[in-house]
């Protein structure tokens, strides 16, 4: 495809008008002010439109679309024990498949090209990812308090099966990560075993860290260490790791994350809505930690709207720390694109740059909310609406365009979602 | 117009499927499950769509669309003195007219039917409101430190002229309010004079209150009273009043606002982004204060996206007070519709209810982000995207539909906005 006469947001988040961008197979092959001589196939009229990197969602639980708006206005404890856990107990492969496809459709609508997911029924999720054409770093969240042989633990066996079956499938679109669900849902033996498996396979690690104050303090009471220090001690950060949330970090936690090259996946909407707090993004950035953005699950967000998430990401710390100079729109854009791709081990993704993968989105610039343009990056983060995304392309393939899905039968997916949620609600009665 | 087979969000924020809603002139005339016998003219196929009250923006400075993204990542003092004031000093009627029309177009896109505006060059704003068909409570913000005769003050003379010329024009669509800009930009003599004029004319009052900590504390130092107590002392709350921001309220401030029937216009995005803080909405609501939502200006927001604003409104206090049960989606919907209308003295607006004005919007329910539906009000506030608004109607007249404006030449407006911002930036060089 050749994007013609389009405004681009380049790799430095600077807008450049009237550009030509040629896509060859899955790669950005040409970027210039001059029309290329090579034939790139279909052309796309870029008038009134902006081309930029798609978004990389660094922390999600995609099938939880099924629980959108199901558990609201509750304390965290009631939310989990009275609503989320009983509902999840009724899930099966069909339900997870339908929920995953719905979440992928929503992700594409909001310009997300790749997602780091932690959940279960992962075979069904893997199939949905491969069929729909998106990218995903998939992991089975391992929870374990027992002292049994970890090799025999179903969660670990599923992780191994998943890694051996699906890692790097779909021309590398699907990667399998290793997930320790969290410190507070496991014991040291489990953490150490998963860490060793990750080192052995070279897989990425994905883990929840210091999301709530009580979890953070309980870890200190139990082990005499913060969750970051404890996990580091267990070897969890010995490979490339993504630590989700990190709301209650303190002291040397920031330095450990920096030294170990851990990416923090900040989830500002979920953290505010569940009343967990605000991740100290400015301090992380000043320490040199790579910070990406996660939507967390739809049951706590309740959407996968990355443009909205960037706005929350940029303003949450301004408001909390009473300093309007903290976290710029470019910080937010970097987190939502390149830092997310990097956290997924996709170093050739997340930049509109020659030779990078063609994971791109087109934004509508003709709307009143995108005028005037004093600064394009600022307009994208603060003034665009999620639904201003007109086209989403992954590995050079258009998956979403003007409300239509090219690889997903949305009507069927919605039908399946309604059937499965109806079944579950019926069983819970 | 007859909306057929449409889901409605009724006056209690409950979704009802397969309804018929008939509009006669400017009024909601019919709501039932049964198709009406009367002829309501054009019919609208409601399949996959939701009809609800439009949004009432209780605090804005619409022409400041011109400054979208112009002053970012700065301290409040630098933001105002280095960027906003010098730019505003170059404004003229043409610029304000173009900026107002751009803001009205953006408001319609995001489902806003009526706005409480405080600015200057108000004649140009009034014309834009009347021509475009929207509703507006317009006011000239009065700033004055002198002890001169207030009757001769240009700001007061403009207020009087505005009230006498435009109040209740456009069949009541345009109302003129009386604005004291704020305690910190005026003296007691000015506040008292405006208060008396408001009592005499029966006009609404619109005022900024306790937006920042320094403004709040400086007032206490100067007068020995909080801004709320001071303004009440000056008579500013003797008529129907809207107090914008109210971030730093304390002690009996909450009771004074309740006793005087003042509406608080909370502006969560602007307050976070400018690092002012978070308005204590739960305490206001528990005291019986009517709380509406304002976008504030585009130079501090940077959009007029009321669906996004509702999400910030609902989660900001959850996050700040570490309590996820605070501020429900229904609280947010009530604030964005009926409470806003009430603050504007529009008691026949802001509800999808028979006999109320037909100020309505249609939302797309077919998108993946609106499924499944465990609770429709929750989906609207947390899962919808601003651009999911398909149609906006004011007083029974469709002004926006599927991206098209029926009363605004958007291309011309954008051209005028670019011309005027270009002129101003040139003069500032």
Mean pLDDT by 10-residue block, N- to C-terminus, for chain A (429 residues)? 98 97 98 97 97 98 98 88 94 98 98 98 98 98 94 96 98 98 96 98 97 96 98 98 98 98 98 97 98 97 98 97 97 98 98 98 97 98 96 98 98 98 96
Over its C-alpha atoms, chain A yields an Rg (Å, rounded) of 21
What's the confidence (pLDDT) of residue A342?
A: 98
Which residue in B72, B384, B386 is closest to A375 by CB distance?
B72
Mean pLDDT, rounded, for B203-228:
97
Which residue in A305, A328, A329 is closest to B385 by CB distance?
A305
Q: Least CA distance to A297: which residue of chain B? A: B383
For residue B197, the tally of other CB atoms under 10 A from its CB is 20
* CA distance linking residue B201 with residue B97, whole number of Å: 27
What's the confidence (pLDDT) of residue A10?
A: 97
The answer to whether residue B280 sits within a structural domain is yes
Instruction: Clarify whether residues A49 and A70 are in a common domain.
Output: no
Mutate to test the interface with B, among A87, A306, A378, A385 (most CBs of B within 10 A): A385
Q: Quick one: which of B318, B336, B272 has its CA closest to B113? A: B336
Tokens of B18: 């397969």
Instruction: Clarify whether residues A117 and A47 are in a common domain.
Output: no
State which H helix or E strand residue A92 sits in: none
Establish, for the pair of chains A and B, how many residue pairs have beta carbons separated by less than 8 Å.
Answer: 217
Tokens of A121: 């029924």
Percent of chain B with pLDDT over 90: 98
Q: Least CA distance to B271: which residue of chain A? A: A319
Residues in chain B: 429
The answer to whether residue B237 sits within a structural domain is yes
The answer to whether residue B170 sits within a structural domain is yes
The answer to whether residue B309 sits within a structural domain is yes
* CA distance linking residue A105 with residue B90, whole number of Å: 46
Q: Least CA distance to A272: which residue of chain B? A: B319
Read off φ and ψ for residue B302, nearest 5 degrees. -110, 45
Helix (H, G, I), strand (E, B) or coil at A32: strand
Mean pLDDT, rounded, for B152-171:
97
What's the confidence (pLDDT) of residue A77?
A: 83
Strand ranges in A25-170 using DSSP code E only, listed in sequence order: 27-32, 43-45, 49-53, 55-60, 112-119, 135-142
Reported ipTM: the value is 0.97
Instruction: Clarify whether residues A130 and A188 are in a common domain.
Output: yes
Question: Which residues on A lie below 8 Å from B387 (Cβ)?
Answer: 367, 385-388
- Dump the DSSP string for A213-253: HHHHHHHHHHHSS-HHHHHHHTTTTSSSEEEEE--S--TTH
Q: If contacts are CB pairs under 8 Å, which of residues 110-129 in chain B contact chain A?
A: 110
Cβ separation B385–A106 shorter than 8 A:
no
What's the confidence (pLDDT) of residue B269?
A: 98
Q: Quick one: which of B335, B380, B299, B300 has its CA closest to B55? A: B335
What's the confidence (pLDDT) of residue A76?
A: 80
State which H helix or E strand residue A361 sits in: strand A360-364
Which residue in B76, B303, B319 is closest to A271 by CB distance?
B319
Q: Please check whether residue B324 is in contact with residue A273, taking contact to mean a CB–CB distance below 8 angstroms.
A: yes
β-bridge pairing A397-401 and A404-405:
antiparallel
pLDDT at B386 over 90: yes
Instruction: Clarify whether residues A192 and A266 are in a common domain.
Output: yes
Q: Please check whether residue A264 is in contact with residue A284, taking contact to mean a CB–CB distance below 8 angstroms.
A: yes
* CA distance linking residue A88 with residue A70, whole number of Å: 12
For residue A422, the tally of other CB atoms under 10 A from its CB is 11
What's the confidence (pLDDT) of residue A67?
A: 97
The answer, for B319 touching chain A at a CB cutoff of 8 Å, is yes
Q: Least CA distance to A108: which residue of chain B? A: B368
Tokens of B74: 């700065």
Which residue in A66, A369, A379 is closest to B106 by CB distance?
A369
* CA distance linking residue A324 with residue A344, whole number of Å: 30
Q: Indicate which CATH number applies to the domain containing A85.
A: 3.20.20.140
Cβ separation B371–A72 shorter than 8 A:
no
Residue A266 makes CB contacts below 8 A (sequence gap 6+) with A245, A246, A279, A281, A291, A292, A293, A294, A313, A335
B371: left (phi over 0), alpha (psi -120 to 50) or beta: beta
Mean pLDDT, rounded, for B106-123:
98
The answer, for A69 touching chain B at a CB cutoff of 8 Å, is yes
Report how far apart, in Å, the C-alpha atoms of B188 and of each of A208, A278, B1, B231 are.
55, 40, 51, 8
User: CA-CA-CA-CA torsion for B416, B420, B425, B429, nearest 10 degrees?
Assistant: 130
The answer to whether residue A96 sits within a structural domain is yes
Mean pLDDT of chain B: 97
Residue B22 makes CB contacts below 8 A (sequence gap 6+) with B1, B2, B3, B28, B29, B30, B31, B36, B38, B40
Number of domains comprising chain B? 1
In which band, very low, low, confident or very high, does the pLDDT at B75 lie, cut at 50, 70 and 90? confident
The answer to whether residue B301 sits within a structural domain is yes
Instruction: Clarify whether residues A12 and A97 are in a common domain.
Output: no
Which residue in A318, A375, A421 is closest to B372 by CB distance?
A421
Residue holding tokens 């660094």? A58
Q: How far is A65 from chain B (nearest CA, A)?
A: 8
Q: How far is B388 from chain A (nearest CA, A)?
A: 7
Whole-prediction pTM: 0.98
Range(s) of the domain holding residue B196: 55-65+97-343
Read off φ and ψ for residue A328, nearest 5 degrees. -90, 165
Terminal alpha carbon distance of chain B: 52
Q: How far is A244 from chain B (nearest CA, A)?
A: 17
* CA distance linking residue B254 with residue B280, whole number of Å: 10
Instruction: Clarify whether residues A152 and A82 are in a common domain.
Output: yes
The answer to whether residue B252 sits within a structural domain is yes
Terminal alpha carbon distance of chain A: 52
Which residue in B325, B372, B384 is closest to A417 by CB distance?
B372
The answer to whether residue A62 sits within a structural domain is yes
Q: Quick one: which of B306, B301, B243, B402 has its CA closest to B114? A: B306
Mean pLDDT, rounded, for B223-247:
98
Instruction: Clarify whether residues A337 and A371 are in a common domain.
Output: no
């Amino acid at each position: 495809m050749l994007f013609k006469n389009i405004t681009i947001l380049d790799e430095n988040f600077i807008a450049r008008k009237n550009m030509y961008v040629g896509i060859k197979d899955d790669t950005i092959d040409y970027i210039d002010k001059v029309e290329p001589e090579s034939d790139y196939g279909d052309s796309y009229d870029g008038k009134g439109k902006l081309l930029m990197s798609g978004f990389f969602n660094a922390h999600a639980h995609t099938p939880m679309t099924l629980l959108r708006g199901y558990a609201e206005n509750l304390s965290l404890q009631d939310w989990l024990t009275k609503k989320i856990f009983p509902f999840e107990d009724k899930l099966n492969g069909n339900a997870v498949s339908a929920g995953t496809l719905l979440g992928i459709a929503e992700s594409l609508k909001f310009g997300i090209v790749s997602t780091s997911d932690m959940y279960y029924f992962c075979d069904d999720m893997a199939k949905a990812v491969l069929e729909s054409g998106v990218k995903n770093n998939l992991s089975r969240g391992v929870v374990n308090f027992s002292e049994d042989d970890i090799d025999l633990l179903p969660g670990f066996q599923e992780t191994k099966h998943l890694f051996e079956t699906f890692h790097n499938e779909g021309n590398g679109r699907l990667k399998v990560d290793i997930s320790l669900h969290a410190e507070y849902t496991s014991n040291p033996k489990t953490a150490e075993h998963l860490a060793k498996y990750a080192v052995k396979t070279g897989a990425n690690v994905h883990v929840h860290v210091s999301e709530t104050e009580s979890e953070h303090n309980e870890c200190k009471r139990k082990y005499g260490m913060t969750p970051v220090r404890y996990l580091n001690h267990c070897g969890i950060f010995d490979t490339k790791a993504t630590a989700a949330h990190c709301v209650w970090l303190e002291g040397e936690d920031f330095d450990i994350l920096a030294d170990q090259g851990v990416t923090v996946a900040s989830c500002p909407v979920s953290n505010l809505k569940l009343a967990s707090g605000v991740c100290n993004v400015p301090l992380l950035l000043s320490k040199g930690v790579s910070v990406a953005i996660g939507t967390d699950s739809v049951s706590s967000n309740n959407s996968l709207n990355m443009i909205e998430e960037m706005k929350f990401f940029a303003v949450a710390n301004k408001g909390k720390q009473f300093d309007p100079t903290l976290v710029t729109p470019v910080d937010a854009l970097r987190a939502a694109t390149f830092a997310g791709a990097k956290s997924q081990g996709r170093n050739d993704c997340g930049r509109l740059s020659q030779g990078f993968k063609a994971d791109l989105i087109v934004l509508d610039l003709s709307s009143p909310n995108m005028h005037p343009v004093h600064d394009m990056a600022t307009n994208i983060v603060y003034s665009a609406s999620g639904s201003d995304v007109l086209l989403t392309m992954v590995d050079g393939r258009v998956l979403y365009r003007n409300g239509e899905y090219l690889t997903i039968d949305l009507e069927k997916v919605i039908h399946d979602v309604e059937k499965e949620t109806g079944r579950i609600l019926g069983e819970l009665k």
